[in-house]
Structure 1
Amino acid sequence: MVYRYESDEDAFLEYPDPASGPPSGLGAAERPAAGPSPSRFPVPSLPRTNRLALPSMDPTPAPGTHPRQPPRAAVYATTGTAPSRATRGGRGGGGRMWQVVVGGAAVLVLLALCGLGAAALVNERNADPRTTPTEEPAAARPTAPAQQNLDARGTDPVPLTAREVFGGRRLVPGDGQATYQVLKTHSSGSCAVAATGEVAELLVRLGCSQVVRATLRTPDGQHLVTTGLFNLVDRASAEDARDRIRQVLDDREGRFRGMVADEETEAIGTAPARVGWQVRGHYLAYALVARVDSEAIRSGDPTAREILFDMIELHLNQGVLERRATGGTAAQPTEEATGSQEGGSAGD
């Protein structure tokens, strides 16, 4: 067996007593005549209980005898002895490579664990309703209302209701400050109940299927107004009614009828009145204004003109019909009107 020293550490020799020099019987340059030299591996500094005792060797053979050969099987038969040169050489090359590979794998595993932890924290934070607003499901999200074509009853089939047109006891047209008190509302499938004479006959002939109206007290308390919507077949029939009603009124062959709410509002049904009407789509909007004291209203009276504008243009056109055209409703969000009727007779 041949041992080779591959580094200074392998070649280091530890003597029991440095002052005593090499063992007796061997000179500085003398070597045994034959046979392998004794092992020069350093003796461990700590005693090992499982170390096998090797037979003592006399480096100098007796005259006429052969040098004693150490038993080869006993050199590395015990555990805990110094590793072989093959193993130590592996640590210097392949051992370091394995250390690098294992260390790199450990770093990659650590980075992966850190990434998973960060992802878990992000998911938990996103799931926390205190940090991120809860997103509504797509089916529950409000959508923009669809545009409604008001040119014909076929494209606008849903009937009007008194609650849609007059939804509360108070009405504020447009964005103004004037508040009208709603005294009575009424909806009927017979348009003739809201007119007299030729006007009532004309509405029936043109296919009017519904009238929704209300009587209100004006903000100054000195006037009453009955206003509402007639539901005709289409725009053409509504425009025909608009144009022919003027001639009927000029000839005094009929009129719009005011709706009496109580004893204090009888003037709306009997007193001289100012009237106005307008067409949008298949609807005919109208309003009738009278004084509470039954006095006649002079032509061009600014108060009467303002009341007609509030009812026909601001409330019915820009309020009720505009909301219906954009897919909404025009109900007032306050209390129900007094004396309201749905689908009944005129009663006045």
Structure 2
Amino acid sequence: MSKKIIYSTRPFRQEFITQIATIAPEFSWQTTLKKSQISDVEIMLGWDRELESELLTKDSNLRWVQSISAGVDYLPLEQLSKNNVLLSNASGLHRDSISQHVLGVILSDYRGIHKSALNQEQHLWKDSTMTYRTLEQANLLIIGTGKIGQRLAELATPFGPTIFGINTSGHKLPNFKETYPIGQLHEVLPDMDIVVNILPLTPETTGLFNAQLFSVMNPEALFINVGRGKSVVTEDLIAALNKQQFRFAALDVFEEEPLPDTSPLWMMDNVLVTPHLSGMTPNFQEKFMQIFLENLKSYHKEQKIAINQVNLNKGY
């Protein structure tokens, strides 16, 4: 009888492979597969699009997918659900990196650092267009109050902004003055100085940031997107910036990636483009394996997921 397989789409250090073998000795660890081995894959780290059709046949033995990312919108969720495949994500792994990225963007904008970097290229010492703001006078809206949103609120609190949140139900959380259900987003936006999108991508959040939403934003607002690119309608974003419906956009994710070199966003003075780097995390393997090994122990014992199980109907 063939040995059951844990198939990983990326390599990990030997110390972790040894721990995996100790927890689940009946499994073989593989980072490449022969055609004859596909049917033996029971656990998968990451996702292999090229093998998707073979991994999701009615005769497949795939029982659990551990996503390497927090977002899972790129996975075939409906088919995973039909096949009764468990799915867990890496939620929380990137919370410090993304939160620090957002704070860096805010401070760079509020203290004129971004504009100074641009002026340096022109040897420009004084700039009459420079403005300076302080966070203790700002209303900060965090749209998506999961692990990243909560960490951002925690780190931002000492700087003194008044912090508001948007989540599905409006449930209360520490470090937020008020939280609102997503249905009240239009009502809340006009009073916000900083708007940060950290929402997962679902049918409800796809294209959420559109012309209608941008039209009610504070004209002095800073908009930051570190959520998902497809939650923003790019054409509407560009139009809103040109109409000065809000002041500045800092974008780390885009509808199309890499961002095409023909995109107007590259050349707009009121836009900061970063190449999907907010989630880049030092010590990724250690942090990821804390999640996977805990789940592997639970799966091996009870065929259940201990942490970060994804609701396949909701998509997060």
TM-score range, shorter chain: under 0.3
Larger Rg: 1
Q: TM-score, normalised by structure 2?
A: 0.25
TM-score calculated relative to the size of structure 1 = 0.24
